[in-house]
């Protein structure tokens, strides 16, 4: 009986550890991934101004806007481009 209890405790510890890692991922890592994907998608079609050359073929634009098919602004943000 002791052996079965020990295995159950180890299973509970494993499940709790996996849940903690998943919670950390969804709370801190996943939002950054989503924001990066969204910015890359919008920056591909954005109209930008206030751009500065950062050297090494990269450029940062502080004022970018993406528009939908009706011409309405759907996103505003900062874009980084590499040549």
pLDDT tens-place string over residues 14-68:
999 999 999 999 999 999 999 999 999 999 999 999 999 988 889 999 999 999 9
**Helices and strands (DSSP H and E) totals, the chain:** 2, 3
Q: What is the pTM of this model?
A: 0.64
Q: What is the pLDDT of residue 2?
A: 62
Of 82, 79, 69, which Cα lies nearest the Cα of 49? 79
Q: What is the pLDDT of residue 3?
A: 67
Q: What is the pLDDT of residue 4?
A: 64
Residue 56, SS3 per DSSP = coil
């Amino acid at each position: 009986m002791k052996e079965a209890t020990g295995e159950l405790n180890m299973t509970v510890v494993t499940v709790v550890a996996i849940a903690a890692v998943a919670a950390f991922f969804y709370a801190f890592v996943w939002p950054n991934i989503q924001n990066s994907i969204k910015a890359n998608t919008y920056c591909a079609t954005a109209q930008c101004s206030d751009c500065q050359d950062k050297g090494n073929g990269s450029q940062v634009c502080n004022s970018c806007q993406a528009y939908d098919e009706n011409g309405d602004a759907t996103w505003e943000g900062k874009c980084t481009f590499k040549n």
